[in-house]
Structure 1
Amino acid sequence: MTALRLTEAQFQQRVLETAAIHGWRYAHFRPARTVHGWRTPVQGYPGVPDLLLARHGVILLTELKTDTGRPTTEQLAWLEQLGNHGRLWRPRDWDQVHAELSRPKEH
């Protein structure tokens, strides 16, 4: 498939719409503007993946990047610690992303 030229926000919207169609529950922690700049009110280590997806006992924590975006050191550390639950998804990986989100429940 030809790479999709999407911003991270556009790609995230596509992922969330596809996840919803296929019955995934999801959470996204959005930053908010404060007097001190943009902040995401979450306690713990920085670099938590963008999305939490859950369906049929399967949990995925996905970091979304554009095709040229680079994960931070903190984001890579999270993905390493998450093992099989962590994902780094890009628009160019759409076929793989779609296949994973649309995979039927395993018995």
Structure 2
Amino acid sequence: MGEHRITEAELQQRIVQAAGLYGWRVAHFRPARTVQGWRTPMQGDVGVPDLILARDGRVLLAELKSDRGRPTPDQELWLEALGDHGRLWRPADWIKINSELLRRHR
């Protein structure tokens, strides 16, 4: 029997749960179905990372991808612009993600 691959949605759920346990504030903007199709209400540059996390004056913006997923060019521009605040997280990174969420800001 094959190994279960963690989907992007499952990864997001794990991160949101862990972040809540560790005292992070978390935001995710979900798309909604409109008469024009699926849309995420927003203004500005497209490609905003999936999660915004904040705790103790520290802010992280995380783009989530499956282990094989690739960021779009717009997502890459966001991650580049975010510098040390941007993250590209995949299921294979779970131990590193959990450690970063657990670690206290100094």
TM-score normalised to the size of structure 2? 0.94
Deviation at 1:5, TM superposition (A): 1.9
2:90 maps to 1:87: no
Mapped to 1, the partners of 2:103 and 2:22 lie a distance apart of 8
Aligned to 1:51: 51
Name 1:101's counterpart in structure 2.
101
User: Considering only aligned residues, what root-mean-square deviation do their CA atoms show, in Å?
Assistant: 1.3
Q: Which residue is 2:31 aligned to? A: 31
Tell me, in whole angstroms, the C-alpha distance in 1 between the residues paired with 2:16 and 2:52: 10
Distance 1:92 1:61 in 2: 18
CA displacement 1:6-29 (0-9 Å, x = unmatched)? 111111000000000000001000
Change (3 A) 1:57 1:51: same
Aligned pair 1:22/2:22, yes or no? yes
Instruction: Work out the CA distance in 1 between the residues paired with 2:47 and 2:4.
Output: 25
**1:4 to partner: Cα distance:** 7.2
**Are 1:4 and 1:91, in contact at CA under 8 Å, matched by a contact in 2?**
no
Asked if the contact 1:64/1:90 (under 8 Å) is kept, the reply is yes
**Structure 1, unaligned stretches of length 5 or more?**
none
Q: Are 2:29 and 1:64 aligned?
A: no
Write the deviation string for residues 61-97 of structure 1: whole angstroms up to 9, x where unpaired.
0000000111000000000000000000000011110
- Alpha-carbon contact 2:58-2:105 (below 8 Å) kept: no
Give me the whole-angstrom Cα distance separating, in 2, the residues matched to 1:78 and 1:7: 22
TM-score (norm 1): 0.94
Paired-residue identity, % = 62
Unaligned runs of 5+ in 2: none
Aligned length: 104
